Structure 1
């Protein structure tokens, strides 16, 4: 690779010694470095295992070691000679501290494995893992040749009615409606031969639709006594730690979600990776608790009314559900796979990504872009990709470039690995543009759930509408779909063909953990640095209806009765009342467009209007509706509104419970109503006496 130690050192503000064959020849220099106590960055992942082991074996090694790939991502490219700014940026980001620990989710597995499928295939799979796992089979047909006659594993049979859970906690429910008791069955096959309708297969299940009740099978099974047509078909349950499903994914309804529960595997009988993973899943395992939830910010439900369902709808693991009793959402941490899509589409920031946090992600993006710019780089493109298939695809492209089969990753494209591509959204994307990125590109590789792509695209449409409305020409955020290095290569080369307008001065703010705070800081900077002159800017930028988390509301004053139910429903304090006057007031900056106000309003008087208001009024309290107060007919104190009281009188005037004095009391304040009622009762008692 054409590396320049002097240029890299200047970008990183350090004196660097370049070890160009570190993999083997300079192992001694590596050992000396890790004994120094300073942070050590190994700028290659080829021999990560080798140097990790060497670090553990080196006496006096105290330095933290971090690895970063600059080879496939920059050095192996036809742009390698111009890649020094990018390489400096990758080295700088690699030196950032690891995210602080977060609460974890624990799984415990003793190795109890359930295999579901045709008996012969299930027994073949069991034979490959039974040396380390405790296997039970659930037969789903005999397969091509039937099961082996030697009963090596416990076999269950019947009709599965439910399968739920996750690693270490799967629960199988089935209806034992098979007349043949598989525990008693000796597999002598006498029943199979005796059945005149061929209703018994080599899985020793009876097809009741074909059976004509000759009961020849019962007669030949008298010694074993395994067949009983009078047995109650009871529902049974049993717990397992792991599940291997040999059935077709399209033929059964079990776990149809895109992200399958951990510990559940499908196997086609060919790829051995699933079996290899199963063999490793015995013991205790931990994963980060990827999310944090603040119920008071949640726009899902208020006043027994459901508003926002964004997180529930997008979750591909079905880990999020509505807890209507507590008027909030509920996240099952055992099912959560850490994709972060729920945090991306959450309008309020009630759900936040915890590992790594938004603050840590923002620090990384800011470090990459500031170092890249300081080293002389221009038109930086952040390529956000998953650390699994996305990372592999980038590395495949780098190797293809080294073999002169591809262009490779361009010098201005900076790959950034994420736990999942759905874990960042409009707040971080706009922050990256404010920091100086010309584009933010999210690489998808068909490992993402379809709803993730829809959610990301909706957020990108909002971000792009804001930028174009401010005069930032070009495409700044986009999805890039690729499954092969050739596709990725062509798409990356196309990114450099157009230039995007970016802020003249890079932002200096730090990304906050609160989504709305970060979004507001990014918007303030982008508005301040907008290329479009202030005199030419529109009053407001219209935003797409889908995915927008900015906007105002329109109130139909002819319908609104100022009942203020919308105020109590608003989770963001965008809607407020006035304790002194009957008014509905609004702060547009706080509005998240969740729709709870509209669904709560009994008069259907509220309409959402997605937009970004560019005038100072966006942060100011303004009155949406007001009315003349109703004065108590007894004491004159104002309460309610004329419109609301008149509407109530009109609706109740014909009711038998509200006639005469009762109807008149509706015109009184609450204090006078009690006094009048008490006085009336006293007068009645005196009259009776």
Structure 2
């Protein structure tokens, strides 16, 4: 049983307890100061043992403290924001169905925990940059972290005379890794050995070209080989122009890069790597140093993905087909392994954006935070409760739990102050770990469940390829609905980095009209992406306006390139039925026949990965992105067939007449295939061996 506590926040929200209670099937007393003078109601609720949903996120910390101070408080507590998401808006009086939906979704069971990825940091920090800036940063963290400086020039002031931290220098060859496991490889190619240098400054004073800076390295572009410095350092022996360059490497747990350009130039750099081109003498620099001080010990993060190689359409026989996940990943966490016919995902580099699972056509990569069945259950709960409470034309606003949620909350506050319209009553915000973590399967399922629109909010924190992938997937989803006869714009991406832009975009949603199925679906979201997609399509096709007339019972329409649905076209003049495409197909869409030379196809299984097209030696196969809205889509259809070739010795059929004739034509002029050798190509494998053995062992008896 669930106890829901609602509060109108000092009467700033026009809540209707009876309407909300009817939708949730429970009595909802209305509070106005639940976090203050009415806190006793919260304490009594959490002593009941029932699950408690508190409709306030602002005072989450305060309620948590109250729970620890309340005797016999055993109830699990959840929090949901109904204020900025609905109660604070121009049309808040019409938002009761949405608020009921948000409260109902908050009472759903917590998703099953996911496996985790571990990091272990001992605090070994590498600081790369001008020596003066590096030393300034080291002074602020050196009491906590084990600091090594990689000097990249002296900077403005140069290094101090006191050697407080190890200093290395040279040409950086590579820097790779993640929190607790960075590897730096560099070439020490300067004449001055910093391990031997005493910083006596004798070389600086002796150099006539002033080619030596206070980083105690020689600028070879300015040095004219007087060697005065080498003579001045004869006692310490730190300078030797004859020394051979030396390649070195070292391990670190953390990296602070103070260079103008980042050494790891990724949109989503690895955890433990920080780039501060402006140095540490500003607010961002100080915040970064505070974060570095905390990154010592053992850490865990969710393992955001599951990978099923059996479903992967990446490669077969070292030929690459689908490469969508590799291309979209901004964290460089996914790589191709053609030899093993798979992709490889590094969980330490994965940042949990989920874009790879969004673009994966087969579901080989699945998102786990939360898993799709949990996400689907939440969407269905939101939409069914919204409709039951009298809501119409629901629009889901999918946003990230960081930048997106912050922007939505800021918009609510602006609406309360009369400076914005706020989140419309029909728009239901749904928080995701990352805006790119859902795709066409869940979007179409949401439409089947009763949503009129699915909107994804991006706040410019997303990588450019994520935004492009979302728009491409939405183009495909929209084409599907339009092809089935559902008019209107059902999918949109909103890019906003201010409340004004978001407010205007959400207000624009009110002016659109979308056609959706008259009866919402009630199917359960499955664990396999293709199954989810098929369930949604079955419901959408069953109620499709374009399929209501008998003449349209086998409707087929084109989809944009990159669609995960479609057929293939086979050029029968080129196709020799070698069946290389069948062996390459990862999804069982292409089939052969046990009784005749045939190529068969099941369109429902095709993921448009392109492996058949790439593998075909005759260039006879091409992809046809489309949707065939008829039962034939799930049935085997014949794409090509040929007459079998009969063995000239035993008459057993083998191969196809076209393939054997093509082979004979190509090899007829070859020196190794003349006479009997060419005839053997017309035999089956058994007869070919017998004929060759007979010819080799034939005994010729000479006349007496």
Structure 2 match to 1:581: 596
Cα deviations by residue, 1:248-273 (Å, 9 ceiling, x for unpaired)? 23xx5x21221100000112332132
Question: Contact 1:465/1:541 (CA < 8 Å) preserved in 2?
Answer: no
| Residue correspondence of structure 1 range 282-297 to structure 2 within 5 A | 282-297=296-311
Structure 2 match to 1:96: 108
- Alpha-carbon shift at residue 578 of structure 1 (Å): 0.2
2:587 to 572, 596, 603: 572
Task: After superposing the two structures, state which structure 1 stretch, 673-682 or 434-443, moved more.
Answer: 673-682
Structure 1 match to 2:264: 255
Question: Contact 1:567/1:575 (CA < 8 Å) preserved in 2?
Answer: yes
Question: Contact 2:593/2:600 (CA < 8 Å) preserved in 1?
Answer: yes
1:413 to 417, 422, 427: 427
- Alpha-carbon shift at residue 131 of structure 1 (Å): 2.1
1:224 to 236, 244, 258: 236
Structure 2 match to 1:441: 455
Whole-Å Cα distance in 2 between the matches of residues 137 and 398 of structure 1?
47
Cα deviations by residue, 1:485-521 (Å, 9 ceiling, x for unpaired)? 1111111111101111111000111111111101111
Structure 1 match to 2:88: 76
Structure 2 match to 1:159: 171
Cα deviations by residue, 1:218-245 (Å, 9 ceiling, x for unpaired)? 2223343322222221111110000011
- Alpha-carbon shift at residue 686 of structure 1 (Å): 7.4
Question: Contact 1:137/1:154 (CA < 8 Å) preserved in 2?
Answer: yes
Question: Contact 2:170/2:189 (CA < 8 Å) preserved in 1?
Answer: yes
Structure 1 match to 2:20: 8
1:496 paired to 2:510:
yes
Whole-Å Cα distance in 2 between the matches of residues 671 and 222 of structure 1?
84
Structure 2 match to 1:614: 629
Whole-Å Cα distance in 1 between the matches of residues 389 and 646 of structure 2?
72
Question: Contact 2:547/2:555 (CA < 8 Å) preserved in 1?
Answer: no
Structure 1 match to 2:482: 468
Structure 2 match to 1:147: 159
Task: Report the CA distance shift for 1:84/1:304 in structure 2 as closer, same or farther (over 3 A).
Answer: same
Question: Contact 1:170/1:242 (CA < 8 Å) preserved in 2?
Answer: yes
1:543 to 539, 552, 559: 559
| Residue correspondence of structure 1 range 112-131 to structure 2 within 5 A | 112-131=124-143
- Alpha-carbon shift at residue 78 of structure 1 (Å): 1.3
Cα deviations by residue, 1:416-438 (Å, 9 ceiling, x for unpaired)? 11111111111100000111111
Task: Report the CA distance shift for 1:621/1:237 in structure 2 as closer, same or farther (over 3 A).
Answer: same
Task: Report the CA distance shift for 1:687/1:18 in structure 2 as closer, same or farther (over 3 A).
Answer: farther
SS in 2 for 1:175: strand
| Residue correspondence of structure 1 range 570-649 to structure 2 within 5 A | 570-649=585-664
2:253 to 224, 227, 241: 241
Structure 1 match to 2:371: 357
Whole-Å Cα distance in 2 between the matches of residues 360 and 647 of structure 1?
55
Structure 2 match to 1:681: 696
Question: Contact 1:562/1:626 (CA < 8 Å) preserved in 2?
Answer: yes
2:576 to 548, 557, 561: 561
Gaps of 5+ in 2: 1-12
- Alpha-carbon shift at residue 313 of structure 1 (Å): 0.6
Question: Contact 1:474/1:499 (CA < 8 Å) preserved in 2?
Answer: yes
Task: After superposing the two structures, state which structure 1 stretch, 19-28 or 617-626, moved more.
Answer: 19-28
1:265 paired to 2:274:
yes
SS in 2 for 1:497: coil
1:480 paired to 2:480:
no
Question: Contact 2:316/2:338 (CA < 8 Å) preserved in 1?
Answer: no
Whole-Å Cα distance in 1 between the matches of residues 65 and 206 of structure 2?
65
Cα deviations by residue, 1:638-662 (Å, 9 ceiling, x for unpaired)? 1111101111111112222222222
Structure 2 match to 1:531: 545
- Alpha-carbon shift at residue 533 of structure 1 (Å): 4.7
Whole-Å Cα distance in 2 between the matches of residues 57 and 324 of structure 1?
59
SS in 2 for 1:679: helix
Question: Contact 1:36/1:62 (CA < 8 Å) preserved in 2?
Answer: yes
Whole-Å Cα distance in 1 between the matches of residues 83 and 291 of structure 2?
30
SS in 1 for 2:71: coil
Cα deviations by residue, 1:109-165 (Å, 9 ceiling, x for unpaired)? 011111111111111111222222111111111112222222221111111101000
Task: Report the CA distance shift for 1:687/1:290 in structure 2 as closer, same or farther (over 3 A).
Answer: farther
- Alpha-carbon shift at residue 205 of structure 1 (Å): 1.6
Cα deviations by residue, 1:464-488 (Å, 9 ceiling, x for unpaired)? 0011111211110111010001111
Question: Contact 1:550/1:589 (CA < 8 Å) preserved in 2?
Answer: yes
- Alpha-carbon shift at residue 684 of structure 1 (Å): 4.2
Whole-Å Cα distance in 2 between the matches of residues 664 and 499 of structure 1?
71
Question: Contact 1:266/1:274 (CA < 8 Å) preserved in 2?
Answer: no
- Alpha-carbon shift at residue 633 of structure 1 (Å): 0.9
- Alpha-carbon shift at residue 687 of structure 1 (Å): 7.9
